[in-house]
Amino acid sequence: MQYQDDATNVLLEKLRMNGGVIDAYEDFFDGMDYLDAVQWGKIKEGDPILMLSIDCTQLYKSKQSNCWIYIWVVFDHHPQERYKKNSRIRRIRPVHVHSTSLTETSVSPVAIPLRVELCLSSNRFLAAALVVHTPGMVYLNGLVGSHRGNGCQLYCGMRGCHKPSAGGHYYPALLKPNNYNHLGSDHLDIDVEHLPPASSGNYLDNLKYLMQSHTQTQYEQCRLETGISKPTIFLSIQTNNILGVPGCFGLDIMHIATINIANELIPIWCGSFQFESTDDKDTWYWAVFKSCVWQDHGKAVVDTTPYLPGSFDHPPCNPTQKINSGYKAWEFLLCLFGLGPAILYGVLPNVYWKNFCKLVCGI
């Protein structure tokens, strides 16, 4: 508890000295959501601050994953200590996946022991609930997922753009496509410097609207409009014991950087992504990974092996040989964001290489 209390007092003093401006975000306790909870009295001196981290695992080769392993991370410990084994509380619970239909049971059993554990002590405060991958998060937060009409997992309200040939898939496009007119998702261009703020202000009103559905058809329409598929059981936790819904649920930053982006960039550079029949491939100046160039790129990745420090475990495999058969997230991370700017220099056209380097800098 002492670290949390000391960190809070130091930050509040900095805010007073800097006119309410935070000069550097170094820990959870630097966030305004936490500071507001302290100033409103939701978090009192000595209250333990917890983060839930959870993921599913497949116990049997030919069966669906049916076991969730989760830990409570105690934020009261110093960042150098809080993630060590003796500073965490571990749990294993078998659960089953449920449909998102309003007429069926819509609460994952994994949340029940979580809520019980949290409420065993009235002064425990849930700061964040994290699932390692986005598909698993929908079972905790009750939202529709990132590829739906209102798919922002922070509930910012920005609607995706629907492509008719893509079924029910919506894309989180900031710019309105040319000649695009689809009711409900044809918003004007959104400036990347002025993105809609994340907000849960209208979440409860939208949830109430969803729960008033009398038929499956009404429910599906409300789900499309609101981006909510079911109530999360975390709503049953007392208001003073939780940061807020859906604000307490985090984003899948790891997979976005290591797998999702890689699964987009590499097919673009290879010119192998799905495209429309009207597209002119002769204008794809970014599609540089022709047969020999792609092979040379794989060799360049392998040739970096003698220069990698031992802390990287073992070097990444040749992507031309292994990328479709279990290339790991950390291999994508190292190849793209560690080696990429160097081994893609002179391979990608300069304008695309500079753009890629901005991505690397951002990550």
H-state helical runs in 104-199: 111-119, 134-141
- In whole angstroms, give the CA distance from residue 141 to residue 212: 19
Q: What local confidence, expressed as pLDDT, does residue 102 receive? A: 34
Q: What local confidence, expressed as pLDDT, does residue 107 receive? A: 39
Quote the pTM value: 0.71
Average pLDDT of the chain to the nearest whole number = 79
Residues 196 and 293 in one domain: no
54 lies in some domain: yes
Average pLDDT over residues 305-331: 82
CB 331 within 8 A of CB 349: no
Residues 164 and 291 in one domain: no
Q: Angle 99-103-107 (CA atoms, 0-180°, nearest 5)?
A: 50
Residues 211 and 168 in one domain: yes
Per-residue pLDDT reduced to its tens digit, 88-143: 665 555 554 443 333 333 334 445 455 545 554 557 788 887 766 666 777 778 88
Per-residue pLDDT reduced to its tens digit, 5-33: 777 777 788 888 888 787 778 888 888 88
199 lies in some domain: yes
Per-residue pLDDT reduced to its tens digit, 45-98: 778 888 888 777 767 776 665 677 777 888 888 888 887 777 666 555 555 444
Residues 107 and 245 in one domain: yes
38 lies in which domain range?
A: 1-141+240-251
117 lies in some domain: yes
pLDDT at 267 > cutoff 50:
yes
235 lies in some domain: no
CB 232 within 8 A of CB 115: no
pLDDT at 160 > cutoff 80:
yes
Average pLDDT over residues 192-209: 81
Count: domains in the chain: 3
Residues 313 and 188 in one domain: no
Per-residue pLDDT reduced to its tens digit, 234-247: 887 777 788 878 87
The tokens for 144 are: 């529709």
Residues 107 and 81 in one domain: yes
Average pLDDT over residues 152-163: 82
Average pLDDT over residues 261-270: 89
pLDDT at 40 > cutoff 50:
yes
Q: What local confidence, expressed as pLDDT, does residue 103 receive? A: 32
